[in-house]
Amino acid sequence: MNGDTEGGTAVNGDAEGGTAVNRDAEGGTAVNREPESRTAVNREPKVPAPVPVESTVLHRTTTDGVSWITLNRPEAMNAVTWEQRERVIALLADASADPAVRAVVLTATGRGFCAGADLRGAPAQPRERLPGDVARTIRLGAQRLIAAVLDCEKPVIAAVNGTAAGIGAHLAFACDLVLAADTAKFIEVFVRRGLVPDGGGAYLLPRLIGPQRAKELMFFGDALTAADAERIGLVNRTAPAAELGALATEWAGRLACGPTRAIALTKQLVNDSLTSDRATAFAAEAAAQEINMTTRDANEGVASFVERRTPEYRGH
């Protein structure tokens, strides 16, 4: 307690606990007494140590060439921070360039896959927001994350362990294959906050389920169960939560044994076909086949067929 007593005495601290007391004596002499039982201590408030991003985005590559990227902020339902986003983008770029990586699995810990964006970890703005800042933030942030998945040269599997909301739902939908726990939910949460969907939502959803269903999800913001997501084509397969990891491991293992460059070219053809006319799509297909026939795996595939044996693909 800080205050003036009736006699003009200034008192700082707890009297009973033996905290130092400063009083003006009758003769005007300042007396500072420290109690015998306790020494006055000035304590600085403790600032929590920053959590390294390597512990909030876990990464490992298995011996069969599967890169596992795991969001690990279960206490925040894996709402993704600025640092996490940048690490995921970097890991996907690394997977594209690394010949030892043949497939990618994107998953999370706890009850949430990704509850959206957590902007609290973003760099501080040096000035008041100006026109153009929001659009720039989206282009350099959420859209870069989704583009990193779409542009990854290796097949990316989403293993959705729980709630996927906002950018979290779009992160899953951008993946090439989507597996989901039967307890998972997908929520186009933007409309609940009075916002327009970002992170490629209005691009991805119409291409996956058509404009009518996309508008229904985006206009109402209702939670979509894993079973319903599978029924309308947003999810490839559902599984009990305890079996999701095993299913993702199985699918990723199959991809990792496949002809990696052929799969990469196929991914590009399918993604590009959604915005191409027939002539352009056919030309791209022919060019991709020409390129692929220069790979060792393509020649191995043809040779194994002729020789009636199982092919041994090496990813190049």
Residue range 84-97, pLDDT digits in tens: 999 999 999 999 99
Query: What is the architecture, at CATH level 2, of domain 260-307?
Result: Orthogonal Bundle (1.10)
**Where does the pLDDT of residue 122 fall: very low under 50, low under 70, confident under 90, or very high at 90 and above?**
low
Name which of 136-140, 251-255, 304-308 the model is least confident about.
136-140
With cut-offs at 50, 70 and 90, classify the pLDDT of residue 49.
Answer: confident
Q: How far apart are CA 58 and CA 60, in angstroms?
A: 7
Which segments of the chain belong to CATH 1.10.12?
260-307
Amino acid, res. 239: A
| Dist. CA 3–CA 23, nearest whole Å | 12
Among the listed residues 74, 32, 34, the one whose alpha carbon sits nearest the alpha carbon of residue 56: 74
Q: What number is the average pLDDT over the span 296-309?
A: 96
Q: How far apart are CA 104 and CA 67, in angstroms?
A: 5
Mean of pLDDT values over 241-266: 98
CB proximity list for 94: less than 8 A, separation 6 or greater: 67, 101
Dihedral angle, C-alpha 256, 260, 263, 265, nearest 10 °: 160
Task: From 129, 170, 131, 130, select the one nearest 148 (Cα to Cα).
Answer: 170
81 phi and psi angles, rounded to 5 deg:
-90, 170
Could you tell me where in the chain the CATH 3.90.226.10 domains are found?
Answer: 54-120+132-256
Question: pLDDT tens digit string along 12-36?
Answer: 444 444 444 444 444 444 445 444 4
Q: Grade residue 183 by pLDDT with cuts at 50, 70 and 90.
A: very high
Q: Tens digits of per-residue pLDDT, 142-159?
A: 999 999 999 999 999 999
Which pLDDT score is estimated for 43? Answer: 65
Give the angle 264-267-273 at the CA atoms, nearest 5°: 140
| Average confidence (pLDDT) over 103-115 | 98
pLDDT band at residue 42 under the 50/70/90 scheme: low
Domain made up of 54-120+132-256: CATH architecture: Alpha-Beta Complex (3.90)
The size of the chain, in residues, is 316
Distance (Å, whole) CA 126 – CA 108: 33
Residues forming a β-bridge with 23: 31
**First-last CA distance in the chain:** 74
Q: Give the pLDDT confidence score for residue 25 in this predicted structure.
A: 41
List, for residues 221-238, the tens digit of each pLDDT value.
999 999 999 999 999 999
Task: Report d(CA 99, CA 102) in Å as an integer.
Answer: 7
Q: What tokens were used for 98? A: 């690394």
pLDDT of residue 12: 43
For residue 50, pLDDT over 70 is answered with yes
Averaged over 98-123, what is the pLDDT? 91
**DSSP character string of 76-145:** GTTPBPHHHHHHHHHHHHHHHH-TT--EEEEEESTTEEE-SB-GGGSPPPSS---TTHHHHHHHHTHHHH
Mean pLDDT of the chain: 89
Sequence-ordered list of residues with C-beta below 8 angstroms from that of 256, at least 6 positions apart, any chain: 64, 65, 66, 102, 103
